Structures are given as C-alpha cells and as structure tokens.
Amino acid sequence: MAILRGPGSTDERRTLSERAVFPETMDINIRQLDPIPAPRSFINDIQLTDAQLDVVAQSRNRIRDILHGRDSRLLVIVGPCSIHDPKAALEYAHNLAALRNQYEDDLEIVMRTYFEKPRTTIGWKGLINDPDLDGTFNIRKGMFLARKIMSDVLALGLPVATEWLDPITPQYLSDAVSWGAIGARNTESQVHRELASGLSMPVGFKNATDGSIKPAADSCYASSNEHHFLSINLDGQVIAAETKGNADCHVVLRGSSSGPNYDEASVQEALAQLRASHAGSAGEHGVVIDAAHGNCGKDEVVEAQVIENIAQRLAAGEQGITGIMMESFLVAGNQKPAPLDQLTYGQSVTDRCVPWDKTAQLLEVLARSMHQRNA
C-alpha cells in the first residue's frame, strides 16, 4: 500500500487506507506519493520580469511568421541534447546569446532547454525527474531548477525551446517557452495532441521512429482543432480543459531507424503528404529538420555535415525548410550520467553533441547561406 509523504516531512506519514474507498485494490504498485506544490507556487517563486515576458512573446511571434512564410529567415533550435548542469547551461547560453544578436537578420536562434528525456527502455529521464543524477528523484528540486534555468536564459534575451513529455509539466514552465516539441515516440499519442492544441507556442511534431510522416501530419491537423480533456490548473485543481486549437503546429524531420530524411526529395515528399493531410498553414508551408538522431546516426561529426549540406541547399534557393535543430554543447560527444562532481564539465549525458567551436562555425555558415538566399 502506498505511503503519502508530505513535503519536508518524513515523520508525519499515513497510509492511503484512511481515505481510499477500496484500499485493498488501489495503488498496489505504488511505493509512496510525494506531494509537489501547485504550479502557481513555482511561478510565484520564480516570476518572469516584463522584459523576459517580452522575449517570450516577441520570439513566439517571429517563429510563427517564419513557420507561416511571413518571415524569410531560418528558425534555429540549438543547444544541449539535455540539460543536467545549470552552470554549464548558463555558460552555453551566454555564448549563444552573443551569436543570436550577431545573426538576427538571417536566423531566429532559440536555445534548447530540454529537461525531460524519453527512454527507449530505462535510463536517466532528465533534470526534472532526477536533478542530482544519483537515483534520488527529487522532482520538486528538478522542477525548480528547470524553471530557474529558463528564467536565467531569458534574462540574456535568449528565447528557449523544450520537449513536452509529461502533460502536467507545461503548467509549471510554459509561460517561459517560445517553441515546443513532441517527440517521435509521442507523435501518435492522443494525450499529446490534446496538449498541443492548448499550448501557447508553436509546436513541432517529429516523424515516427519508423520514418512515417503521416502520424505527425495527423497530429498537426488534430492539434489545430479544439479538444476537451482532464488536466490541472495553476492551483493544482483537476479541471476539464477546453482548448481553441493550435494553428502553429508543424512537422520535424528527424530521420528514422531506416536512415536519414533530410535530403531534398524527402523534404518534398513530406510536404506533399502534409498538404494531402490538410495539416494546416504552418504544417503545409515547410518543415523543420532535426540534424541529430536518425539523420546523423547520433554521430556529432555527421550531424555537422548534415547542417553544412542543408546550408548549401538553402544558399542555392531550396524552399520548404523553415528551420533546423542541432544538438550542441560546450564539449563534443557524451558521457554516462553520474553525479556532477564525477562528470566532464559541459559534456552531454545523453546523446552526442557538436562542440561549441564547431557550433559557432555552423551558425555562421547558416547565416551566410540565408543571407545569400534572401539577397
């Protein structure tokens, strides 16, 4: 039987049998329940300033304009595969903010701040789930750190992007996010389609792990419509949510278990499927290409080559590519998760990442290519 443990208290424990109607049939496989403060508590603790809120609102509008074809620049989502070290993440953000300002005429640069990681089987599930990387699973601390990191990045004038994995997490963080992703494993999930329909920012659905575009196209269409579902509000109360639909959903080509799909033929085939599926204005106008994952075989050297290839095509005038995603950190490669004092500073603990010096070169190449195309 599960134990309900209050925050900050280990002495005052009581079993669910005090309240449960049928305790012998409930929560058989739950060890304990740790209450987390409602979203409003975290939002009040780490409030965004007017300047930070302006960064979010203005970048969302610029991203929408790019996705719908009203802005000819390129959306670039770049940053660590996952964030595990707040200090290293902020150092990276300082570097990226300088380049955002330098290339703002050609690129809309947004930093990846990914705190939830889907796993094929088991493994470290991200900063929110296990912030100390030691199996203590202090989710309350993880949620606080995630919001603090986003706030610190926004303070630099740098907008942030994240992947939405758990349907409750957005209530804690979404006011700070300019672009959201739904991963390949969740593209067919009704829960995530409903979630995307109510989110306040553009959302990219990745193609399925087998390479299929149709599930992502269906997600764009489904999420553009209104939905009704159970959720929570900022005070943690269970509510029946009614959404208006999100017209800014689009597809992210991330390769597959069979190989890459970033080439021009794959892009045009994806666009044809999106138009046939009535994915919506943003979805039918263009796609975002994820240079990592199946498009590079999780090899950061190949990932850089993918970006260089796309840059050449953009410079030559190829249409249909509205954005690029890149996994990048301070140090190349990756390492196994462990407590911070045992890790190489600035190196990913999930997928391999392009190092910062190469990232800076690639951003320059992309900016030059877009300037040439738009000239």
Structure confidence at residue 139 (pLDDT): 96
CATH of the domain at 150: 3.20.20.70
pLDDT in tens, 33-74: 889 999 999 999 999 999 999 999 999 999 999 999 999 999
Does 242 lie in the same domain as 138?
Answer: yes
In a domain, 40, yes or no: no
Kind of pairing between the strands at 321-327 and 228-232: unpaired
pTM of the model: 0.93
In a domain, 69, yes or no: yes
Q: Is there a contact between 76 and 106 (Cβ–Cβ < 8 Å)? A: no
Residue 217 is part of which domain span? 50-374
Does 64 lie in the same domain as 7?
Answer: no
| Single-letter amino acid, residue 9 | S
Residue with the larger pLDDT of the pair 22 and 239: 239
Q: Is there a contact between 84 and 133 (Cβ–Cβ < 8 Å)? A: yes
Structure confidence at residue 118 (pLDDT): 87
Does 87 lie in the same domain as 15?
Answer: no
Structure confidence at residue 27 (pLDDT): 82
Share of the chain above pLDDT 70, in %: 94
| Single-letter amino acid, residue 61 | N
Does 101 lie in the same domain as 238?
Answer: yes
Q: In the predicted model, what is the mean pLDDT of residues 316-344? A: 97
pLDDT in tens, 118-145: 887 889 999 999 999 999 999 999 999 9
Structure tokens belonging to residue 8: 């900050």
Does 28 lie in the same domain as 66?
Answer: no
- Per-residue pLDDT band at 21 (split at 50, 70, 90): low
Structure tokens belonging to residue 350: 């999930």
Does 180 lie in the same domain as 250?
Answer: yes
Does 289 lie in the same domain as 332?
Answer: yes
Does 117 lie in the same domain as 229?
Answer: yes
Cα diameter, the chain: 71
- Per-residue pLDDT band at 12 (split at 50, 70, 90): very low
Does 106 lie in the same domain as 19?
Answer: no
In a domain, 151, yes or no: yes
In a domain, 43, yes or no: no
Does 149 lie in the same domain as 3?
Answer: no
pLDDT in tens, 156-204: 999 999 999 999 999 999 999 999 999 999 999 999 999 999 999 999 9
> Does 330 have pLDDT greater than 80?
yes
Does 204 lie in the same domain as 64?
Answer: yes
pLDDT in tens, 217-236: 999 999 999 999 999 999 99
Counted domains in the chain? 2
Does 363 lie in the same domain as 271?
Answer: yes
